[in-house]
A and B are shown apart, each in its own frame.
Chain A
Amino acid sequence: MHKALIAQGILSLSSPPDRAETMAGDLVEEARTRGGLWLAGALVGVSAAMFFHAFGAARARTLARLGLGLAVWFAVYVATRVVGALLGLQPLVIDARSVAELPLGTLLYLGGLLMLSNFVTGLVLGRGSAVGGMNPVMPLAMFWASTAVIALCADVSSGTSTWFCTLLYVGGLPTLYIAPLLLGGMLAARTTPSFGLGASR
């Protein structure tokens, strides 16, 4: 039951609620013989396929939603950073090369700010109308995911990658950016009648 609920929640980010429900049921039914790992892979594959399907059907609206998402995220992040600097919690400008040398407390605080700004962005965007059947946070989530993959590849191929950067791309972007954004989007969608997680027949 929990697997189905989680699967439906994930799929409802990239497809309309009624479709998400039936697809989640199909995947959970097949996962009984194929296992949990197959289910996880299938969820990622179906979500990506449905995202690109919706993107193909509404390119301009998806890109507009991505632009709006970036603007909201940037505004929230800058506001929290300025407030933090005014309160003396962190320096306003941080040299990217010296991030790894910051005290652990400041690093955790900055990570928290990133999570908060993405969560708030998810809450704001998630209340909007669906784009081609997908949750409005999906364009920004896919943008962050693409950024992580491209940045990791560029970093590794340059031959100057550091443990800090690799950790940031592999673990940081999914944890600090994508997960809170999707969580905010899902919570906002639950409170918006037209885009809830429940079955709609």
Chain B
Amino acid sequence: MSPKQRFAYNVGHMSRTANLGEFEQIVLLAIMRLGDDAYGVTIREEIQKRTGRSTAPGALYTTLDRLEQKGFVVSRLGEPTPERGGRAKRYYSVSAQGVDAVERAQRSFQSLLEGLHILRKKHA
């Protein structure tokens, strides 16, 4: 494959597979961990619990919206509950496309980490 052909292939491949940002990966992984109980409040709590990172509600909702537009998550409405002022929950789940995207992103990280031995050095 010539450099020109390789460039065209890479550009084509990149446009077909939208890349994930770090926060998008965190949100997708939190949704996967929560299973059937993934909605705004629990996703924020799960991120806080697992990463120690406090997430602004606005940042989470815009990210969920973007992930849904990309087809990485799907949402469904639950039943309204009194503790929410009679408002329904919006439950999220990760689509097959979303799982693929997380796997791809993780493989990229692993590939970049290979041979660096930074984790071993820190624990030594």
Measured CB to CB, the residues of A under 8 A from B are 1, 3-5, 7-8, 15, 18-19, 21-30, 32, 42, 45-50, 52-53, 199, 201
Least distance between B61 CB and chain A CB atoms (Å) = 6
Contact A28:B87 (CB < 8 A) given known A46-B61, A49-B59: yes
Chain A residues, Cβ within 8 Å of B44: 30
Complex partner residue of B88 from A22, A42, A52, CB under 8 angstroms: A22
Chain B residues, Cβ within 8 Å of A53: 62, 65-66
- Check A21–B57 contact: CB distance below 8 A: no
Give the tally of cross-chain contacts (CB within 8 A).
80
- Check A4–B77 contact: CB distance below 8 A: no
- Check A49–B58 contact: CB distance below 8 A: yes
Chain B residues, Cβ within 8 Å of A201: 77, 88
- Check A25–B84 contact: CB distance below 8 A: yes
Least distance between A28 CB and chain B CB atoms (Å) = 5
- Check B85–A22 contact: CB distance below 8 A: no
* 29 A-B residue pairs with CB within 8 Å: A1-B85, A4-B85, A4-B86, A4-B87, A7-B85, A18-B77, A19-B65, A22-B39, A22-B77, A22-B87, A22-B89, A22-B90, A23-B57, A24-B85, A24-B87, A25-B80, A25-B81, A25-B85, A26-B57, A28-B83, A29-B41, A30-B44, A42-B57, A42-B58, A45-B58, A49-B59, A49-B61, A50-B61, A201-B88
Tell me what chain A mostly uses at the interface: helix, strand, loop, or mixed: helix
Contact A25:B61 (CB < 8 A) given known A30-B41, A49-B56, A201-B77: no
Chain A residues, Cβ within 8 Å of B66: 53
- Check A25–B87 contact: CB distance below 8 A: yes
Chain B residues, Cβ within 8 Å of A199: 87-88
- Check A49–B62 contact: CB distance below 8 A: yes
Q: How many Å lie between the Cα of A70 and that of B62 in the bound state?
A: 28
